[in-house]
Amino acid sequence: LRALRLHAGPAPVHLQRVHRPAPGVPVGEDDAPFEAGFATACRELAPRMVLALGPLAAQQLLGGQPLGRLRAQVGSCGDGPTAVVASYAPAYLLRSPADKGRAWADLCLAAAEFDRLAAAHP
C-alpha cells in the first residue's frame, strides 16, 4: 500500500479479512455470512474499489472462476459501482516468489483504476 501511495491519501483504506468456511462445509453453503458482511461494509463504507487478495476473496466477489482468470482486469462487485481488482494472497507470494511480478502488475492496475475513479468523482 505504501509503494502505491494508497495508505496516505484522502480516502481511507479499509481492510476486511475473508475466512474460509468451516471444515466439512461444502463450498458455497457458508457464503451467506460473508456476503451479508461485505454487503453491509459496502453500504457503510461506499468503497470506490476493492482489492481482493487471494482466490477465496476474489471468487466471493467476482464469481467462481479460478484466480488466474479473475486477476489482471477490473471487475465489478455485484450490480454496484464498486470496482474490484483480484490478485494473489500475500501468503501465496511467500511460497511462490516467481508470481510477485504479476502481483505487482495487479497492484499497479488497482492504483491506476483508483486514480481514474478519484479523478472522475473528486
Round to whole Å and give the CA distance between 38 and 45: 10
Tell me yes or no: is domain 31-120 CATH 3.90.1640.10: no
What DSSP character marks residue 112? H
Least confident of 80-84, 104-108, 112-116: 80-84
pLDDT digit string, tens, across residues 34-87: 666 665 676 677 788 889 999 988 888 888 899 999 999 999 887 778 899 999
Which of 46, 48, 44, 64 has the alpha carbon at shortest distance from 56? 64
What DSSP character marks residue 3? T
pTM above 0.85, yes or no: no
Grid coordinates given for 23 = 471444515
- Listed by start position, the domains of the chain span 31-120
Least confident of 10-14, 31-35, 40-44, 98-102: 31-35
From residue 104, give the alpha-carbon distance in Å to each of 24, 77, 80, 99, 108: 34, 22, 26, 9, 6
